[in-house]
Structure 1
Amino acid sequence: MTVQPRRRTQQERREHTETALVAAAAEIVVEAGVRALTLARVGERAGYSRGIVTHHFGSKQGLVDALARSIQVGFVPGLEDRPPGLGRLLALVDGYLHAVSALGTANRAFLLLWAEAATTPELAETFRDRDRGFRADLRVDIDAGVAAGEIRADADPEAVAVALVGQLRGIGMQRLVDPEGVDTERLRGDVTEQWRRALRSG
């Protein structure tokens, strides 16, 4: 008796298509640069038509938004299982630096797009929103750490969040530009300890 493979649901087919399109967009950014990213090229790379890309994302802006979201979700695994506070904040720093030690195509694309956002208005909104979300998540940990007495009471959550995002993104960019000269695995312990000392109470 032959067992017929289960047919994918419409939602599963949609998710598969979107994943393939986002992956194709990341490959194009890494291989040819941000300006080479067009809906037509993404569709062709993924084996679909431009119309399919437009159907799923609406525009290049929508595609970039989806790419940025897909990369940030789960970038440092396991954080959702930790309670907010200094421990989770330090785990994020350590995990982030570990993740950029082996930058895959998607993460390389994110950093390239993030850098380009400084001079490209259509990218600026997406990455401004992503960074604001990143800082908001960090502030939750800082506020929780202060409330628990783990983080010094005079720590400014916004200032700490801006400094952290700047440092982590900056190290990621250095790793992207000079992978042989920037050993993020070696940096992990030092950077995490620097933040522990800077923030801890007492």
Structure 2
Amino acid sequence: MADQRPRERSDASRNRRAILDATRAMLLEHGAQAVTMDRVAAAAGVGKGTIFHRFGSRAGLLHELVGEPAIELMCAVQEGPPPLGPDAPARDRLLAFFEGFARLVIDNLELIVAYNAMPPHPRSAEFHGFWARHTTELLRELRPDIDAEIVAGLLLASFGGELVPTMVRTGESDRLLEAVRELVESVLRAP
């Protein structure tokens, strides 16, 4: 599922990338509260009007940043190489998906925190629906004895709340990745 957007001029593409990179750097260094249109414009070397024209609002800008890694992960699941892509065994795909999902959250933590405080992303239903369907389908194949839809929801819900942000902010990302793997493997073990 490639992101279908019209081809843009090279200067518009450079500006878009500069704006997104400046916003991401600001999020990483100072957190979501530091992201203002004035600061992003100054850091990206563009006028504030360029940001408003391109993204519409601060929320639109943050939505675009959230969408990039989500679309990349979706594409990897749908058409990428193993272990995420369709040519891998279901067990490997499920473990790889949750590792990829955890890394997406870890690598974009401040963005995710800001995203959760905003109105929903225009494509959030698509993203969340995709993760839920993908996880449910793999669980149905691997564990036909469980309610795959509910278990998929519970696995995905484990990324909500304060535990994940707290672990990432205290330098426990590796421990988090290991725990996510253990959680998924515990579900895969038949009784």
Q: Could you tell me the TM-score, scaled by structure 1's length?
A: 0.68
Q: Which has the higher contact order (CA 8 A, sep 6+)?
A: 1
Q: Give 2:110's aligned residue.
A: 109
Q: Give 2:47's aligned residue.
A: 49
1:141-185, Cα deviation, whole Å (9 max, x unpaired): 322441x3x22343241x333322232355541233211xx2x33
1:163 aligns with 2:154: yes
1:55-91, Cα deviation, whole Å (9 max, x unpaired): 2112222112111112333359953432284432211
Q: Please tell me whether the aligned partners of residues 131 and 165 of structure 1 are also in contact (alpha carbons under 8 angstroms).
A: no
Q: Give 1:175's aligned residue.
A: 167
Q: Please tell me whether the aligned partners of residues 90 and 195 of structure 1 are also in contact (alpha carbons under 8 angstroms).
A: yes
1:124 partner amino acid: P
CA distance in 2, matches of 1:33, 1:108: 9
1:112-147, Cα deviation, whole Å (9 max, x unpaired): 3145x1xxxxx13229x537623532322322441x
CA distance in 2, matches of 1:19, 1:88: 31
Q: Percent identity?
A: 21
Q: Please tell me whether the aligned partners of residues 94 and 188 of structure 1 are also in contact (alpha carbons under 8 angstroms).
A: yes
1:185 aligns with 2:174: yes
CA positional deviation for 1:53: 0.7
CA distance in 2, matches of 1:97, 1:10: 32
- Count of matched residue pairs: 177
Q: Please tell me whether the aligned partners of residues 79 and 92 of structure 1 are also in contact (alpha carbons under 8 angstroms).
A: yes
The runs of 5 or more residues in structure 1 that have no matched partner are 1-8, 118-122
Larger radius of gyration: 1
CA distance in 2, matches of 1:58, 1:15: 16
Q: Please tell me whether the aligned partners of residues 97 and 185 of structure 1 are also in contact (alpha carbons under 8 angstroms).
A: no
The runs of 5 or more residues in structure 2 that have no matched partner are 1-6
Q: Please tell me whether the aligned partners of residues 76 and 96 of structure 1 are also in contact (alpha carbons under 8 angstroms).
A: no
Q: Give 2:11's aligned residue.
A: 13
Aligned counterparts, 1:19-34, within 5 A: 19-34=17-32
1:126 aligns with 2:121: yes
CA distance in 2, matches of 1:10, 1:145: 40
CA distance in 1, matches of 2:174, 2:31: 27
